[in-house]
């Protein structure tokens, strides 16, 4: 589809908005509909759109295998790490409100946001990885 100028241009314009929306959904996960999983899927879909239009090789230049594999792990580590940090500060696993961030309410907010970001990273990276793997099989 690289030859089609309309598709190429529209994709270039759309991708930033898709990603912005993905980030919005992740950040508002604790106070509105959405969250890490949904936002992660939206973020991942922006890369998938790019790969569909510009091809697998070009896509791998933007997201090399190393990067997507690392992000797969990083997201879960953020999630698990926040749980462990809560334990270090004397709470139970994932007890965010114990974190020393002023009020318990604010600490819960930050803790939840943290794990949503972790979930978002992993989900986006996994979507991208699955797409690259299936695309590679068909060549």
Partner 1 sequence: MNISQHFPVMIVIIPLISAVIIPLIGRIRRIYGWYVSIAATFSSFLISISLLMTVFEKGRISYWLGNWEPPWGIEYVVDYLSGFVLVVISFIAFIITVYSIKSVGKEIPEHRITPFYSIYMLFVAGLLGMIITGDIFNLYVFIEISSLAGYALIAAGRKRDALIASYNYLILGTIAATFILLGIGYLYMVTGTLNMADLRERLPLLYDSKVVRTAFAFFTVGLSIKIALFPLHIWLPNAYTHAPSVVGALQAATATKVGVYAMIRIMFTVFKPQFILEVVPVSQIFLFLSAVAIIAGSVLAIGQRDIRRMLAYSSIGQIGYIVLGIALANKSSIIGSLIHILNHALMKGGLFLVVGAVVYKTGITDIDDFKGLGKRMPFSMAAFTIGALSMVGVPLTVGFVSKWYLALGALQAGMWVFVPVILISSLLSAVYFWRVINNIYFKDDGVPARIDDAPAGMLMPAFTLAACCIIFGIAAFIPVYITGFAAEMLLRG
Helix axes 104-138, 65-88, angle to 10 degrees: 160
CA distance 61 to 125: 15
Task: Tell me if 20 contacts partner 1 by CB under 8 A.
Answer: no
Task: Tell me if 7 contacts partner 1 by CB under 8 A.
Answer: no
Nearest-approach distance from CB 74 to partner 1, in angstroms? 8
Task: Tell me if 88 contacts partner 1 by CB under 8 A.
Answer: yes
Residue 93 or 106: the one with the smaller Cβ distance to partner 1 is: 93
Q: How many CB atoms lie within 10 A of CB 64?
A: 11
Task: Tell me if 93 contacts partner 1 by CB under 8 A.
Answer: yes
Contact 50, 15 (CB under 8 A): yes
Residue 53 or 127: the one with the smaller Cβ distance to partner 1 is: 127
The overall longest dimension of the chain from CA atoms, in Å, is 59
Tell me which residues touch partner 1 (CB under 8 A): 66, 69-70, 72-73, 76-77, 80, 83-84, 86-88, 90-96, 98
């Amino acid at each position: 589809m690289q030859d089609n100028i309309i598709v190429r241009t529209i994709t270039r314009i759309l991708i930033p908005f898709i990603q912005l929306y993905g980030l919005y959904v992740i950040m508002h996960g604790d106070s509105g509909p959405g969250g890490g999983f949904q936002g992660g899927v939206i973020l991942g879909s922006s890369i998938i759109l790019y790969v569909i239009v510009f091809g697998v090789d070009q896509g791998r230049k933007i997201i090399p295998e190393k990067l997507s594999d690392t992000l797969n792990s990083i997201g879960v580590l953020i999630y698990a790490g926040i749980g462990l940090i809560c334990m270090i500060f004397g709470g139970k696993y994932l007890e965010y409100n114990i974190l020393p961030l002023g009020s318990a309410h604010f600490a819960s907010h930050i803790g939840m946001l943290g794990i949503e970001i972790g979930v978002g990273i992993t989900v986006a990276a996994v979507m991208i990885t699955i797409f690259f793997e299936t695309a590679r099989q068909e060549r």
